[in-house]
């Protein structure tokens, strides 16, 4: 597959800002295994094959098991995720599908009870960090979709040009 668009050449400042956001996420003190699960689940919801491939490799490199990766889409029915992981996965789903879920109060409360409270300074792994991570995931998925749309439009343009030359 060819690159759809080289964002570094089109908007290098935006790419540098996105990389800075990723650096902040890495420096925030996240539990890497929890972050891997969150990234995998968001990628499953968004249907991003590239991201699933990348995040599954990262998760395995950080010690995640095949069983837990394979069961991630059905995490509610499996016994091998902790209460913290379940809260993070539920929060991830609510934020990733915010236009559908509007982040229900009960999800917010459950996440807050396990991942961090409403008062005091944010702690690594609390909902503030989760929101930062989700913003990064949405940004990455949108950039990937932009490149896909441009590639499809270019292919459509070539087809139209080819058909026009046959007339």
Residue 95: phi and psi, rounded to 5, are: -75, -40
**CATH at residue 126:** 1.20.1290.10
Query: pLDDT tens, 70-97?
Result: 999 999 999 999 999 999 899 899 988 9
- Mean pLDDT score, 43-48: 92
How far is the C-alpha of 72 from the C-alpha of 142, rounded, in Å?
23
* Residue-number span of the structural domain to which 93 is assigned: 7-166
What pLDDT is attached to residue 144? 62
How far is the C-alpha of 41 from the C-alpha of 126, rounded, in Å?
17
- Mean pLDDT rounded to a whole number for the chain: 77
Query: pLDDT tens, 91-143?
Result: 899 988 988 888 888 888 888 888 775 323 334 445 555 555 665 566 666 66
How far is the C-alpha of 46 from the C-alpha of 90, rounded, in Å?
15
Residue 53 has pLDDT above 80, yes or no: yes
Residue 39's nearest CA partner among 20, 25, 24 is 25
- Mean pLDDT score, 27-49: 89
How far is the C-alpha of 31 from the C-alpha of 35, rounded, in Å?
6
Confirm whether 139 is domain-assigned: yes
Domain count within the chain:
1
Helices 32-46 and 49-61 sit at what angle, rounded to 10 degrees?
160
Confirm whether 125 is domain-assigned: yes
């Amino acid at each position: 597959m060819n690159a759809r668009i080289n964002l570094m050449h089109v908007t290098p400042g935006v790419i540098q800002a996105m990389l800075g956001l990723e650096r902040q996420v890495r420096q925030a003190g996240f539990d890497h295994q929890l972050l891997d699960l969150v990234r995998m689940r968001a990628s499953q919801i968004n249907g991003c094959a590239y991201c699933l491939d990348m995040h599954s490799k990262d998760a395995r490199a950080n010690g995640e098991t095949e069983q837990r990766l394979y069961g991630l889409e059905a995490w509610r029915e499996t016994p091998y995720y902790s209460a913290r992981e379940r809260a993070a996965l539920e929060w991830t789903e609510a934020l990733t599908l915010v236009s559908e879920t509007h982040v229900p109060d009960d999800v917010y409360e459950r996440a807050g009870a396990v991942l961090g409270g409403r008062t005091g300074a944010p702690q690594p792994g609390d909902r503030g960090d989760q929101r930062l991570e989700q913003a990064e995931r949405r940004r990455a998925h949108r950039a990937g979709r932009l490149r896909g749309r441009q590639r499809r439009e270019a292919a459509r343009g070539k087809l139209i040009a080819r058909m026009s030359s046959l007339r």
